[in-house]
Structure 1
C-alpha cells in the first residue's frame, strides 16, 4: 500500500510545482502567494510520502488531496486534476490494503 501511495504523492508533488507558474501568469496571483501555496503543498506531499510508515503520512496525504482540489477555486482545471489525484489516492489505499490482505492470506496458507 505504501509504495502505491508514495507514487501518487510524488507525481502530485510534481503537478503542484508545475501549477505555480500557471497561477502566476494566468490567474494573476501574486508570486509570493503562488509559491507559498503550491510549493508548500508539493513539499507537504513529499513529506507525507516519507511518513507513510505510520498513520500520519496518510492523514497528511489526504490533506494534500483536499488542498489540490481546493486550488480549483483559483485555477479551474485543478478541480479536474485534483479530483483525479484524489481518486488515485483512494485507489492506492484500497488496492494496497487488498494486496496486503492477499499476501497475509498466502503466507498463512503456506505456513
Structure 2
C-alpha cells in the first residue's frame, strides 16, 4: 500500500505546486496566502508518504483529497483534478491493501515451505 499511496501523494505534491502558480494570477489573493496554503498542503503530502501504513495516515489522506476538491473554488480545474486524485487515492488504498495481503500470504507460505524443508533434514 505504501508504494501506491506514496506515488499518488507525490503526484498531488506537483499538482498543488502548479495550482499555486495558477492561483497567483488571481488579483484577490496575495502571494503569501497562496504559498502558505499550498506549502502546507505540499508538506502534508510528503509527510503522509511516511504515514500511509497507519490508519491515521489514510484518514489524513482522505482529508487532503477533500481539500484538493475544495481548492476548485479558487482554481476551477481543481474540481476535476481533485476528483481524479480522490479516485486514485481510493484505488491506491484498496488495491494496496490487497497487495499487502497477498504479500503476507506469500511470505507465510514461503516460511512454511522453509520450515518443512528444515524439518526433513
Decide: shared fold, TM above 0.5.
Answer: yes
User: How large is the RMSD of aligned CA atoms in angstroms?
Assistant: 1.6
The range that moved more, 25-34 or 56-65, is 25-34
Equivalent residues, number: 111
**Aligned equivalents of 2:11 and 2:18: distance in 1?**
11
How far off is 1:109 after superposition? 4.2
Go from structure 1 to structure 2 and tell me whether the alpha carbon gap of 1:50 and 1:109 turns closer, same or farther (over 3 Å shift): closer
Runs of 4+ that moved beyond 6 A: none
Paired position in structure 2 for 1:82: 82
In the TM superposition, 1:87-106 aligns within 5 A as 87-106=87-106
Paired position in structure 2 for 1:58: 58
Secondary structure of the residue aligned to 2:75 is coil
The TM-score, its normalising length taken from structure 1, stands at 0.88
Q: Is 1:20 equivalent to 2:20 in the alignment?
A: yes
Task: Select the structure of larger CA radius of gyration.
Answer: 2
**Aligned equivalents of 2:98 and 2:105: distance in 1?**
10
In the TM superposition, 1:25-44 aligns within 5 A as 25-26=25-26, 28-44=28-44
- Could you tell me which runs of 5 or more consecutive residues in structure 1 were left unpaired when the two chains were aligned: none
How far off is 1:102 after superposition? 2.0
